[in-house]
Amino acid sequence: GSWTQLYLITDYHENGSLYDFLKCTTLDNRALLKLAYSAACGLCHLHTEIYGTQGKPAIAHRDLKSKNILIKKNGTCCIADLGLAVKFNSDTNEVDVPLNTRVGTKR
């Protein structure tokens, strides 16, 4: 058989989530732009399929919010909690959606 489950292992980011960080931190425009730009770049990387033996599928997060974005020491973002993410299979032109239809955060 083949193994199809993907794992993502990241560093620990002591600044916590963007949600918590913005509640207790005042940032200038440059720092805010750096956060926004790095979050957009991270999302772009998730959405981009990379071909080859060291590649990755295109991924849709499906629960992106400030509590699922972590702040690194250098003031950039790291997208976290890909528990609801789905991947796009370009060979079949299909999205790998699990039977669990739950999407996003229940309020």
Please tell me the predicted confidence (pLDDT) of residue 104. 62
Q: Quick: pLDDT tens for 8-48.
A: 787 999 999 999 999 999 999 999 999 999 999 999 999 99
Active-site option among 11, 20, 28, 63: 63
Predicted local confidence at residue 106, as pLDDT: 64
In whole angstroms, what is the distance from residue 49 CA to residue 59 CA?
8
What pLDDT score does 107 carry?
Answer: 58
pLDDT in tens, 50-94: 988 888 889 999 999 999 999 999 999 999 998 888 988 777 877
For residue 39 the two structure tokens come to: 């979050």
Protein fold of 18-95: Transferase(Phosphotransferase); domain 1 (1.10.510)
Q: What is the largest CA-CA distance in the chain?
A: 52
- The dihedral region occupied by 104, where left means phi > 0, alpha psi between -120 and 50, and beta the remainder, is left
In the chain, where do the E strands start and end?
58-60, 69-71, 77-79, 86-89, 94-96
What are the extents of the domains in the chain?
18-95
Q: Is 11 an annotated catalytic residue?
A: no
